[in-house]
Structure 1
Amino acid sequence: MARTTTIELHKEEMKFSAGHFTIFSATHRENLHGHNFTVYVALTGEVGDDGLMADYGPLKQAVIARCKAWNETFFLPERSRHLRLERDANGNHRAYFNGEELHFLARDVTLLPAANVTLEELARVFGEELVGDGAGMARDHVTRLVVKCASGPGQWATWEWNGNG
């Protein structure tokens, strides 16, 4: 009989500080602000005869690398229907929202492939990047991956991938 287990990863290095604003409608958004985000990842799969489900070291390193890449940046959503983004001649970003023009240096910005900068979208983007096409998950016998992203104690969003269909 197959035995499954869940390995949970929530290390000190799995965090980042970033700025953002949430867009609530075509005319209402938050002011610019930031959070100290934390990330939690759980992978579930079958334990082999050797007592090992998978070498989760590379996955842990991928999470830590993404956190480092996102640390001390400002998120802008690429897919927002209410925010228009442009780059100027120097590569810096201009964001247009409800008659406002916001300017950001390119070095400070992370463009997020998301409709908004919310915990829900951060968890999804993180998770989709980790899963990729699913081949690595299948190789490591991972059948389920859960990513949680928090903006502070007690405030999480969860994204789940189920490799069984």
Structure 2
Amino acid sequence: MPRTTTLELHKEEMKFSAGHFTIFSATHRENLHGHNFTVFVALTGEVTDNGMLSDYGPLKRTIIERCHSWNETFFLPDRSPHLKLERNAKGDVLAHFNGEELRFLARDVTVLPVANVTLEELARVFGEELVGDGSAMRRDGVLKLVVKCASGPGQWSSWEWEAA
């Protein structure tokens, strides 16, 4: 009978500080502010004959690298119906919202494939990048992966993937 286990990864290096604002409507958004985000990843799968689910070292490194690349940047959504983004010749980002123009240096911005910069969307983007098409997860015997992003103690959002 197969034995399943869940490995939970929540290391000190799995964090990042980033700025954002949440858009509530075509006319209402938060002021610019930031959070110290943390990331948690859980893998569920079958324990192999060598007593392991898989070598999760590469996955851990990928998580830490993503956290490092997002650290100390300002997040902007590129799929918002209320925010329009454009880049000037230097690559700087101009964000247009309700008659306002917000300017950001290219080096300070991370544009995300999201409708809004929320915990829900951050967890999804993080998870989709880790899972990809799912083939590596299945190869490594991972049946389920959960990604949680927190903006502070007690405030998490989860995204889940399960092998088909």
Which TM-score bucket, shorter chain as reference? Answer: over 0.9
Give the match's secondary structure for 1:158: strand
Give the match's secondary structure for 1:31: coil
TM-score, normalised to structure 1's length? Answer: 0.98
Give the match's secondary structure for 2:11: coil
CA distance in 1: counterparts of 2:89 and 2:66, whole angstroms = 28
Give the match's secondary structure for 2:103: strand
In the comparison of the two structures, how many residue pairs are matched? 164
- Paired amino acid for 1:17: S
Give the match's secondary structure for 1:137: helix
Q: Write the deviation string for residues 6-26 of structure 1: whole angstroms up to 9, x where unpaired.
A: 000000000000000000011
* Match in the other structure for 1:120: 120
TM-score, normalised to structure 2's length? Answer: 0.99
Q: Write the deviation string for residues 40-82 of structure 1: whole angstroms up to 9, x where unpaired.
A: 0000001011111100000000000000000000000011111
CA distance in 2: counterparts of 1:106 and 1:82, whole angstroms = 21
* Match in the other structure for 2:97: 97
CA distance in 2: counterparts of 1:80 and 1:96, whole angstroms = 11
Matches within 5 A, 1:1-16: 1-16=1-16
CA distance in 2: counterparts of 1:89 and 1:60, whole angstroms = 37
CA distance in 2: counterparts of 1:143 and 1:93, whole angstroms = 40
> What is the aligned-residue identity percentage?
77
1:54 aligns with 2:54: yes
Matches within 5 A, 1:7-156: 7-156=7-156
Q: How far does residue 101 in structure 1 lie from its aligned partner after superposition?
A: 0.4
- Paired amino acid for 1:71: N
- Paired amino acid for 2:2: A
Q: Any stretches of 5+ residues in structure 1 without a counterpart?
A: none
CA distance in 2: counterparts of 1:125 and 1:90, whole angstroms = 27
CA distance in 2: counterparts of 1:53 and 1:88, whole angstroms = 48
CA distance in 2: counterparts of 1:126 and 1:91, whole angstroms = 24
CA distance in 1: counterparts of 2:152 and 2:95, whole angstroms = 27
- Paired amino acid for 1:46: E
CA distance in 2: counterparts of 1:3 and 1:36, whole angstroms = 37
Ranges of 4+ aligned residues in structure 1 off by more than 4 Å? none
CA distance in 2: counterparts of 1:89 and 1:71, whole angstroms = 25
Give the match's secondary structure for 2:38: strand
Q: Any stretches of 5+ residues in structure 2 without a counterpart?
A: none
CA distance in 2: counterparts of 1:21 and 1:67, whole angstroms = 19
- Paired amino acid for 1:80: S
